[in-house]
Chains A and B, each alone.
Chain A
Amino acid sequence: MDFSWLTDPFYQKALWTGFVNTLWLVAVSAVCGFALAVVFAVTRLRGPRPLAMLVTGVTTVVRGTPLLVQLFFFYDGVGRLLPEIPGLRESLIWPLLRDPFFYGALTFTLSVGAYTGEVLRGALLSVPEGELAAGRAFGLSRWQILYRLWLPRAIQMCLPTLTGELILLLKSVPLVSTIALMDLLKAANMVRDETFLVYEPLLLIAGIYLALTLVLTSVMRVIEHRFPGARPVASKRRRLLPG
Chain B
Amino acid sequence: MPSDPTDGLLEWLGPILQGALVTLEIALLAYAIGLGLGLIGATARLSPWRPLRALGTAYSTLVRAIPELLLIILLYYAGSQALNALLAEFGGDTHIEISGFVTAVGVLAFVQGAYMTEVFRGAIQAIPRGQLEAADAYGFSRPTRFHRIVLPAMLPNALPGMSNLWLILVKDTALISVIGFEELFFTAQQAAASTRDYALFYAFAGALYLVMTLGSNALFARAERYVRRGQPST
Chain A residues 76-107 with CB under 8 Å of chain B are 76-78, 80-81
Contact of B206 among A70, A76, A172 (CB under 8 A): A70
Report which of B60, B177, B188 forms a contact with A242, defined as CB distance below 8 A: B60
Does A185 interact with chain B (Cβ within 8 Å)? yes
Q: Which residues of B contact A185 (CB under 8 A)?
A: 67, 69-70, 73
Nearest A residue to B201, CB-CB: A77
With contacts A61-B210, A69-B185 taken as known, whether A210 is within 8 angstroms of B65 at the C-beta atoms is: yes
- B202 and A69 form a contact (CB under 8 A): yes
What number of A residues sit within 8 Å (CB to CB) of B? 38
Beta-carbon contact of B199 and A77 below 8 Å: yes
Q: How far is the CA of A177 from the CA of B196 in the complex (A)?
A: 21
Q: Contacting chain B: which of A39-47, A144-152, A196-204?
A: A196-204
Cα(A203)–Cα(B70), bound, Å: 9
In the complex, which of the residues B60, B178, B198, B210 contacts A76, with contact meaning CB atoms closer than 8 Å?
B198
Contact with B along A63-76 (1 / 0, CB 8 A): 11111111011001
Binary contact track B4-30/A, C-beta < 8 Å → 1, others 0 = 000000000000000000000000000
CB of A155 to closest CB in B, whole Å: 22
Choice from B65, B173, B206, B210 contacting A241 with Cβ under 8 Å = B65
A203 touches B74 (CB 8 A): yes
A interface residues (Cβ-Cβ under 8 A, vs B): 60-61, 63-70, 72-73, 76-78, 80-81, 170-175, 177-178, 185, 198-199, 202-203, 205-206, 209-210, 213-214, 241-242
**Contact B61–A241 (Cβ < 8 Å):** yes
- A73, A177, A198, A209: the one contacting B202 at CB < 8 Å is A73
B62, B71, B175, B209: the one contacting A64 at CB < 8 Å is B209
Contact, CB under 8 Å: A72 / B189: yes
Nearest Cβ on chain B to A96's Cβ, whole angstroms = 19
Do the beta carbons of A72 and B202 come within 8 Å of each other?
A: yes
In the complex, are the beta carbons of A76 and B69 less than 8 A apart? no
Contacts A66-B171, A69-B206, A174-B67; is A199 near B61 (CB within 8 Å)?
A: no
For the complex, give the distance between the alpha carbons of A73 and B202 in Å. 5
Q: How far is the CA of A210 from the CA of B78 in the complex (A)?
A: 19
- Give 26 pairs: A residue, B residue, CB < 8 Å, sorted on A: A60-B214, A61-B206, A63-B213, A64-B167, A64-B209, A65-B171, A66-B173, A66-B174, A66-B206, A66-B209, A67-B171, A68-B175, A69-B206, A72-B189, A77-B199, A80-B196, A81-B199, A174-B69, A177-B69, A202-B77, A206-B71, A206-B74, A209-B65, A213-B65, A213-B66, A242-B60
Once the chains are docked, how many angstroms separate the CA of A170 from the CA of B68? Answer: 11
Interface membership of B187, Cβ < 8 A: no
| Alpha-carbon distance between A177 and B70 when the two chains are bound, in angstroms | 10
B68 touches A171 (CB 8 A): yes
Given A77-B198, A206-B74, the answer on whether A242 and B57 have CB atoms closer than 8 Å is yes
B189 (CB) vs chain A CBs: closest residue: A72
Instruction: Verify if B172 is at the interface (C-beta below 8 Å from A).
Output: yes
How long is the Cα–Cα vector from A171 to B66 in the complex, in angstroms? Answer: 7
Cα–Cα, bound, A73→B200 (Å):
9
Report the Cα distance A76→B171, complex, angstroms.
19
17-55 of chain B: CB within 8 A of chain A: none
Q: Name the residue on B nearest A210 (C-beta).
A: B65
Given A68-B177, A69-B174, A73-B199, A209 contacting B70 (CB threshold 8 A): yes
Question: A211 to nearest B CB, angstroms?
Answer: 9
Which residues of A sit under 8 angstroms from B196, Cβ to Cβ? Answer: 80
Complex interface bits, B192-234 against A, C-beta within 8 A gives 1, otherwise 0 = 1000101110110110011001100000000000000000000
